[in-house]
Amino acid sequence: MKKLISAPYLVWMAVFVVVPLIMVAYFAFFANGHFTLDYVANVSQYANIFIRSIWLAAIATVICLIISYPVAVILTEADANYQGTLLMIVMLPMWMNFLLRTYAWMTILGNNGILNQLFGLFGLGPFKLLNTRGAVVLGMVYNYLPFMLLPIYNVMAKIDRSVLEAAQDLGCNRGRVIAKVVFPLSLPGVMSGITMVFVPAISTFIISRMLGGGGNLLIGDLIEMQFLGNSYNPNLGAAISLVLMIIVLLIMTLMNQFDADDRPLI
Amino acid sequence: MKKNIISLKNICVSFDGERILDNINLDIRDKEFVTLLGPSGCGKTTMLRVIGGFLTPDSGAVQFEERDIKAVPPHKRNVNTVFQRYALFPHLNVYDNIAFGLKVKKLPENEINRKVKEMLALVNLSGFEKRSVNRLSGGQQQRVAIARALVNEPKILLLDEPLGALDLKLRKEMQIELKRMQQRLEITFIYVTHDQEEALTMSDTVVVMNNGVIQQIGSPVDIYNEPKNAFVADFIGESNILDGLMVRDRLVTISGKTFVCVDYGFGENTPVDVVIRPEDITIIPPDGEHIAGVVKSVTFKGVHYEMLIEAYDHDWLVHSTKASAVDRTVGLSFGPDDIHIMRKTEG
Ligand SMILES: Nc1ncnc2c1ncn2[C@@H]1O[C@H](COP(=O)(O)OP(=O)(O)O)[C@@H](O)[C@H]1O
Ligand SMILES: [Mg+2]
């Protein structure tokens, strides 16, 4: 009976997860039916792009965390009747199309954009804001912030209020309650937030293309070029994807290791 | 006479326009074991939250040793709480849960270690230091919660239905254990329960509450023998509560018959509540003088038989060591001392 119920799910997994993975691996190691390590070896040429992608995605993830955590604390401390409304206000920009949102930043950051016009009023600038790494990080933070905030908020909202009162009862002021109880209990949310921001950020190609100009290519751009661009090379594209996947898996395993350090999280 | 450690003065609390605590006045003396007793939802937890500082009352004052502490936040009050559902820290093991308060106070490591070990022995959990609190039984979690609060040696310990989740045998053991700890450590206990037997066995003073109003404050013996109104009488043990008419001082009419009693000061021809405990009634052959009724049921309760006897306007509950036959007509005998007269409560 149980097997029957899970059957559609297993079929779905097989068709849309396992098969594509096998295909990626196949293209990475086989060209014209022959096994080769050339493509995987070639990936090392793009080490600088890998490092840049990891670096920018990591910065964006950290900024998302720094912004989201206090916001989540404030949200959970707010009157229960307003929490929904507050959350909606935070999420509102997400209802706009992803491309549109990113285009908007182009017009804000451009040389003749709103910000530079504003600086111009004070006789400053124009500054080069668009087509910089900073702009790429900004785009990542702006687009992926909710993916950090939501899991943290969800975990935090589920913490039993009486546990926080117990901490107060035992001598903790507000700051210590957060440090000694809220933070350790919210770690699962932080961990999934980090994953949900870092993974799309490291593989994005639209944000870097639109806000980073030509000089700030990320892995996502590189992969896209192998499949759709003029440097058409699906084998190399598959090899890069595979390496990226392994790097992400390694980083996530490392994070979880550090998280599972001394205590079982419930 | 010991001095008051906590005084509540005219405390009122409302939630959503509903009165939860209604003009509460209560003095608690140092080292006293006080129990707040009342049905679920009557405001017991709310009262503890006011004392602990988690809830600011709408009006009234909370005094600690005669000083107003309304502005003192919970973490600065010399009060610790055993919460209703324990509220243990799920991310910490047994040792760290108990050591929590001492670590916050930055006590030296070896002193923390000594005190926690002592506490663990006291609550019979030695050897459980490293155990995750999520893998403890209800009774063990209970004892961790008590140890976590007691280890801080507070002046006052608030306990919110701490034995609620335990089975009868363990509950009895813990009642004795808690009472012993309270006497040995000389801490004021403010204990919440809805179990009248628990309240009567453990307390120096019982505070009976209903609907946010204190019904009666007194020693367990006073509360049992001299309930102030029908609610207290009914809540403390099983009772027959009847409509009566106070003819004049020391004379009352129940079920159409007039009895001599010991109460006075109710005026003449005043409707009153009359309480007679089931164990104070003796079954006699019907004689026309006493109230008579038909035995409807007899249940063996171990020490006594519980009988339901139908008289013409009331079903009487009678406890007796001798069983009567069902359907037999019997007389109900009780003395003047056994009749408790109470003013009718409004509403
Ligand atoms: N924070 C709150 N908001 C609204 N109503 C509450 C709140 N806390 C308690 N109440 C209400 O107050 C009443 C008394 O609650 P409580 O003090 O917990 O009762 P007890 O502990 O005696 O069972 C209940 O009707 C409960 O629903
Ligand atoms: Mg309660």
Residue A264 pLDDT grade (very low, low, confident, very high; cuts 50, 70, 90): very low
**Per-residue pLDDT tens digits for B107-165:** 999 999 999 999 999 888 999 999 999 999 888 999 999 999 999 999 999 999 998 87
In a domain, A41, yes or no: no
Q: Ligand 1 centroid to A82 CA: how many Å? A: 21
The domain tally of chain A equals 2
Confirm or reject: Cβ of B42 under 6 Å from ligand 1.
Answer: yes
CATH, range B4-230: 3.40.50.300
**Overall average pLDDT of the A14-38 stretch:** 91
Alpha carbon of B238: minimum distance to chain A alpha carbons (Å): 35
Determine the residue of chain B that is closest to A160 in CA distance. Answer: B87
**Per-residue pLDDT tens digits for B14-51:** 999 999 999 999 999 999 999 999 999 999 999 999 99
Residue B193 to residue A6: CA distance in whole angstroms: 48
The reply to whether residue B90 touches residue A185, judged by beta carbons under 8 angstroms, is yes
Question: What are the CA-CA distances from residue B10 to residues B23, B67, B232 (Å)?
Answer: 4, 15, 21
Question: pTM of the full predicted structure?
Answer: 0.83
Q: Is the pLDDT of residue A263 over 70?
A: no
Residue A254 to residue A193: CA distance in whole angstroms: 15
Residue A71 maps to which CATH number? 1.10.3720.10
Confirm or reject: Cβ of B17 under 6 Å from ligand 1.
Answer: no
**Overall average pLDDT of the B92-120 stretch:** 96
Determine the residue of chain A that is closest to B87 in CA distance. Answer: A163
From the list B80, B84, B90, the residue facing A169 with the nearest CB is B80
Residue A29 and residue A51 share a domain: no
Residue A110 and residue A2 share a domain: no
Average pLDDT over all residues of chain B: 92
Nearest to A55 by CA among A137, A141, A149, A147: A137
Q: Half-sphere exposure (CA, 13 Å, Cβ side) for B95? A: 11
ipTM entry: 0.82
Residue A80 pLDDT grade (very low, low, confident, very high; cuts 50, 70, 90): confident
Domain boundaries, chain B: 4-230, 241-343
Nearest to A165 by CA among B86, B63, B95: B86
Residue A107 to residue A115: CA distance in whole angstroms: 9
**Per-residue pLDDT tens digits for B252-306:** 999 889 999 999 989 899 999 999 999 999 999 998 889 999 999 999 988 899 9
Residue A51 and residue A29 share a domain: no
Residue B71 to residue B56: CA distance in whole angstroms: 9
Q: Ligand 1 centroid to B46 CA: how many Å? A: 6
Nearest to A158 by CA among A219, A244, A254, A72: A72
Q: Is the pLDDT of residue A56 over 50?
A: yes
Which of B:101-120 have CB within 8 Å of A?
Answer: 101, 104-105
Alpha carbon of B20: minimum distance to chain A alpha carbons (Å): 20
Query: Angle at which helices A219-227 and A183-203 pack, to 10 degrees?
Result: 40
Q: Which residues of B touch A171 (CB under 8 A)?
A: 75, 101, 104-105, 152
Residue A67 and residue A176 share a domain: yes
Q: Is the pLDDT of residue A259 over 90?
A: no
Residue A46 pLDDT grade (very low, low, confident, very high; cuts 50, 70, 90): very high
Q: Ligand 1 centroid to B42 CA: how many Å? A: 8
Alpha carbon of A263: minimum distance to chain B alpha carbons (Å): 7
Residue A1 pLDDT grade (very low, low, confident, very high; cuts 50, 70, 90): low
**Per-residue pLDDT tens digits for B287-300:** 888 999 999 999 99
Residue A149 and residue A118 share a domain: yes
Confirm or reject: Cβ of B15 under 6 Å from ligand 1.
Answer: yes
Could you tell me the two tokens for B256? 């159409």
- The pLDDT value recorded for residue A2 is 66
The reply to whether residue B87 touches residue A172, judged by beta carbons under 8 angstroms, is no
- The pLDDT value recorded for residue A94 is 83
CB contact at 8 A, B253 and B263: no
Q: Is the pLDDT of residue A254 over 90?
A: no
CB contact at 8 A, B188 and B159: no
Q: Nearest C-alpha to atom 21 of ligand 1 is from which residue?
A: B45
Q: Which domain holds residue A10?
A: 1-36
Please tell me if residue B85 touches chain A, with a CB cutoff of 8 Å.
yes
Please tell me if residue B142 touches chain A, with a CB cutoff of 8 Å.
no
Please tell me if residue A175 touches chain B, with a CB cutoff of 8 Å.
no
Q: Which residues of A touch B134 (CB under 8 A)?
A: 264, 266
Residue A79 and residue A5 share a domain: no
Q: Is the pLDDT of residue B347 over 80?
A: no
**Overall average pLDDT of the A28-49 stretch:** 91
**Overall average pLDDT of the B184-197 stretch:** 93
The amino acid sitting at B274 is V
Q: Is the pLDDT of residue B85 over 70?
A: yes
Residue A121 and residue A182 share a domain: yes
Give the residue, A91 or B126, on which the prediction is more confident.
B126
Average pLDDT over all residues of chain A: 90
State whether CATH 3.40.640.10 applies to domain B241-343: no
The reply to whether residue B74 touches residue A169, judged by beta carbons under 8 angstroms, is yes
Confirm or reject: Cβ of B85 under 6 Å from ligand 1.
Answer: no
Residue A229 pLDDT grade (very low, low, confident, very high; cuts 50, 70, 90): confident
B126: region left, alpha or beta (phi > 0 left; psi from -120 to 50 alpha): beta
Q: Nearest C-alpha to atom 8 of ligand 1 is from which residue?
A: B46
Residue A68 and residue A18 share a domain: no
Residue A60 and residue A28 share a domain: no
